[in-house]
Structure 1
């Protein structure tokens, strides 16, 4: 398999990252990448970091990491998406592991959280398969279910 990597979204790659799209039936579950990038620029209090996910030299997906709570010891893994052309190839699992490892190396947190819309059963199953649990919390900002991955020492 071609090497999978994460690269910060920059002036050089933002166009290819904003051109990525999920499958049509997934669009209602996630903000588009351009909106996420703008949020990272203008909502500076959350210190969002945006990354392009690459298979070799090809932009395959997007992820946003931030809104760290140092006191509580958690951080958001947000807006994880793969372009429709890169889905159903096992890349999602590999990219999720890459993102979790990035967080382990770069943040002193005990927990990674994310949110999923109630009707997105495929995403819930995917995250549960990778160790995320649904503790029954709801994100007050958007009504989505919060999933949590506890990191071991």
Structure 2
């Protein structure tokens, strides 16, 4: 397991190129957009108020995520494009960053659920998110045909 300090940082001029240079493993690339595409989407698709973040190990970008499309009525927000660079995979960083991201999101958004979508054939991602506390909602994202998975923020807390 990779040791070190994990942080979530806004993407700016100091880390943008490093984040754009991060890529997933070849067999994962058909399931996720590049970070450059995600950054462009954040700038163009302002309706969903996407914000992109660098996932940093000892201040060095090793991953990426987008947060947005908050629904204040139904009390959920999307975690999208979560990725760890191919060279950093297999060290437990994804699981550590996912748990950090879940806490980080809950500290910033007043929501009951954190949602994401997964390609129906991406079994590795399904297993990863299931281990992280997400469950298959049984719904399909009309925009891309992917399965919608949900993390219930209140899980494990006394009701």
Q: TM-score range by the shorter chain?
A: over 0.9
Runs of 4 or more, structure 1, over 3 Å off, are none
Counterpart Cα distance in 2 of 1:109 and 1:41: 24
Which SS does the other structure have where 2:53 is aligned?
A: strand
Q: Which residue of 1 aligns with 2:34?
A: 32
Counterpart Cα distance in 1 of 2:59 and 2:102: 21
Q: Which residue of 1 aligns with 2:60?
A: 58
Q: Which residue of 2 aligns with 1:103?
A: 105
Structure 2's unaligned 5+ residue stretches are none
1:68 to 62, 67, 70: 70
Counterpart Cα distance in 2 of 1:57 and 1:84: 18
User: TM-score normalized by structure 2?
Assistant: 0.94
Q: Which residue of 2 aligns with 1:86?
A: 88
User: TM-score normalized by structure 1?
Assistant: 0.98
Q: Which residue of 1 aligns with 2:115?
A: 113
Counterpart Cα distance in 2 of 1:7 and 1:58: 10
Counterpart Cα distance in 2 of 1:20 and 1:37: 13
When the two structures are aligned, how many residues end up with a matched partner? 153
